[in-house]
Amino acid sequence: MKYDVEIPKSSLRTFFHVLIVIGAVAGSITLGHLNSPIGENGLPRLLSPRLAQITRYQHEAQRWAGEVSEVQAGLSELLADQGTDLLSQDGQANALYGQLAALQAELDGTKVPPTLEILHDAIQGAVNQSMLAASCTIAWISEPTSENKTAALSALSDAVSALDHVSENPWMQEQP
């Protein structure tokens, strides 16, 4: 005795649709788990749109502070070393000023969460102070007098203080 079992095509179609839906749900869960930040307890954190915007801005602010710090270190090196040729010093100073100008343009185009407006203003202040220090350094390279060097060192000191003020902001130290 031989029996033939015939499965209707509509049942097969339904079975494959269910498999596709289960695969899509499993894939979405996996992607969400891989892209979610992990909290202290090792579990993924649920980010609301506001919290995601704040977290993204905090990461950007830390990157910006690092860039400003690198530029300030470059200015400090220029002011400490008078031995290199003027053309090389001028090129380095102008490159540092250009980095600050690009950073300022990026800051101007950034959407700032209302909670972090004070931090944004502080970062812009640090960039502006650093641009002033770069301008004073360029003036000292163009005319290497003790007055110009004193002005450049003073402007750089003010810029470092402004960046320290940014670093002291609680939003730069804590993640939400």
Tell me the CATH number at 87. 1.20.120.230
Whether 20 maps to a domain, the answer reads no
Whether 13 maps to a domain, the answer reads no
Task: Render pLDDT for 92-123 as a digit per residue (tens, 0 to 9).
Answer: 999 999 999 999 999 999 999 998 999 999 99
What tokens were used for 116?
Answer: 């972090």
Whether 40 maps to a domain, the answer reads no
Range of the domain at 131: 49-109+116-171
Contact indicator for 103, 127 with CB cutoff of 8 Å: yes
Whether 102 maps to a domain, the answer reads yes
In the chain, % of residues over pLDDT 90? 53
Whether 145 maps to a domain, the answer reads yes
Number of structural domains (the chain) is: 1
Task: Render pLDDT for 138-164 as a digit per residue (tens, 0 to 9).
Answer: 999 888 889 999 999 999 999 999 999
Whether 37 maps to a domain, the answer reads no
Whether 131 maps to a domain, the answer reads yes
Query: What letter would DSSP give residue 15?
Result: H
Q: pTM value?
A: 0.73
Whether 176 maps to a domain, the answer reads no
Q: Residues 112-115: contacts with CB within 8 Å, 24+ apart?
A: 112/57, 113/50, 113/53, 113/54, 113/57, 115/54, 115/171
In the chain, % of residues over pLDDT 70? 89
> CB neighbours (10 Å) of residue 75?
27
